[in-house]
Amino acid sequence: MRFSSRLDKARQSLEDVALDALILINPQDIRYLSGFSGSAGLALLGIEKAYLFVDSRYVTQASQEITGFEVIQVTSSAWDSLIHWAKEGKFSRMGFVASELAYEHHEKLKEKMEGAELVAVRSLVGRLRMVKDPEEAEAIRTSARLLSQNLEEVLSLLQPGMKEKEIAALFEYSLKMNGADRTGFETIVASGFRSAMPHAQASDRAIQAGELLKIDGGCEWQGYHSDITRTLALGRATPDQEKIHRIVLEAHGQAVAAARPGMIAGELDGVARRVIEEGGYGEYFGHGTGHGVGLSVHEEPRIGRDSKDLLEEGMAFTIEPGIYVPGLGGVRIEDTILLSARGAEVVTTTPRGITL
């Protein structure tokens, strides 16, 4: 039933912009509309029919998983098959997401689909995916619970002298052992001066007592993601470390308290950013306050200073303000939230203190 409803909404979106078909390239969009969880394939959504193009590796899987799409096995090029069935369907105005379609494929479509108009559109399915249904929300809660429990286990094992790569490997191994399907992304572990790098890759550096340590990890469970960051000091924190941690924690807390349906995402970013600016560290907060999570770990809405996205009940996104001071270190505190009529439900629950 839920796939049928999603297809109905997607087709209505096509009609709203006068398209008779939409080329689907993003695997998460395809999964959202059909249930297909494979990593390779193309799809074509028409007003009346929908096709999924996969090679022999995925035919059985697709036949078992999908709803509402006809499975077409390709023997050479999925693009050739898509063009064939687009001609069969007499599609004359076909949409595509500009950021997803490679130039060579666009030119091939132009050449082979003579008479058909190719229309660049914003991600129509991505917009539908922003609002989660109850089943999706529950999957995100489960993902967040696994992630939170795993991070707490890893934090309890930390000792000075452990390497960043060792901590990252422990995090990813234990996450899968505790029931996750996979990690949401390569785990970020950064200590000391490296913690001032927002997306530092884990290195061979050994963590030292008295330094800041930032761990940013994600979990995927049944296709749905959660995301968390905690920053702590091993041993006694310095006054400067405590200060920036306290400011970030206040910014995080105010943003969580302010989040509500009907708010513009840029306004929510402003709540967190104002706290950091008033604390004197505005120049050290260079990224947005959050991002949507769901079938992708980074999706719409975008919680940034210029974002015009309207926050709605059922959305899932992160709140993750940060301060990154070269030489001193960086602090980010991130949680995944679900937005209800009552406000933000924080679903990642690992303690946020600066000490273990």
What is the C-alpha separation between 205 and 164, in angstroms, rounded? 6
Core vs surface per residue 38-75: b (16+ CB within 10 A) or e: beebbbbbbeeebbbbbbeebbeebeebbebbebbebe
Instruction: Estimate to the nearest angstrom the gap between the alpha carbon of 32 and the chain centroid.
Output: 14
Strand 335-340 versus strand 343-346 pairing type: antiparallel
Q: For residue 283, what is the DSSP state? A: G
pLDDT surpassing 80 at residue 356: no
> Could you tell me the CA-to-CA distances from 52 to 21, 90, 149, 264, 325 in Å, in that order?
13, 17, 38, 36, 49
313-338 pLDDT tens trace? 999 999 999 999 999 999 999 999 99
Sheet holding 335-340, edge to edge: 299-303, 290-292, 316-319, 335-340, 343-346
Give the mean pLDDT of the chain. Answer: 95
Residue 291 pLDDT? 98
- If one counts every other C-beta atom within 10 angstroms of the C-beta of residue 223, the result is 17
| CATH numbers and ranges of domains, the chain | 2-129 (3.40.350.10), 134-346 (3.90.230.10)
Burial of residue 247 (CB within 10 Å: 0-12, 13-18, 19+) is buried
User: Which pTM value belongs to this model?
Assistant: 0.94
Residue with tokens 């209800």: 340
- If one counts every other C-beta atom within 10 angstroms of the C-beta of residue 176, the result is 14
Q: Please list the residues that pair with 228 across neighbouring strands.
A: 217
Under 8 Å between Cβ of 160 and 209: yes
The sign of the torsion formed by the CA atoms of 255, 256, 258, 263 equals positive
Find the mean pLDDT for residues 4-25.
95
140-186 pLDDT tens trace? 999 999 999 999 999 999 999 999 999 999 999 999 999 999 999 99
Under 8 Å between Cβ of 354 and 252: no
pLDDT band at 93 (very low <50, low <70, confident <90, very high): very high
Q: Which H or E run includes 166?
A: helix 164-177
As a whole number of Å, the CA-based R_g of the chain is 22
Find the mean pLDDT for residues 70-94.
93
If you count them, how many residues does the chain have? Answer: 356
pLDDT band at 1 (very low <50, low <70, confident <90, very high): low
Core vs surface per residue 3-19: b (16+ CB within 10 A) or e: eeebbeebbebbeeeeb
Find the mean pLDDT for residues 69-74.
95
pLDDT surpassing 90 at residue 235: no
194-208 pLDDT tens trace? 999 999 999 999 999
Q: For residue 246, what is the DSSP state? A: H
Strand 212-221 versus strand 188-191 pairing type: antiparallel
pLDDT band at 115 (very low <50, low <70, confident <90, very high): confident
Angle at 155 between CA 150 and CA 157, to 5 degrees: 105
What is the C-alpha separation between 22 and 96, in angstroms, rounded? 6
Name residues whose C-beta falls within 8 Å of residue 163's C-beta, 6 or more positions apart in sequence.
203, 204, 205, 206, 207
Determine what percent of the chain is predicted with pLDDT higher than 90.
Answer: 93
Residue 114 pLDDT? 84
pLDDT band at 76 (very low <50, low <70, confident <90, very high): confident
The pair of three-digit structure tokens given for residue 297, joined into one six-digit string: 């770990």
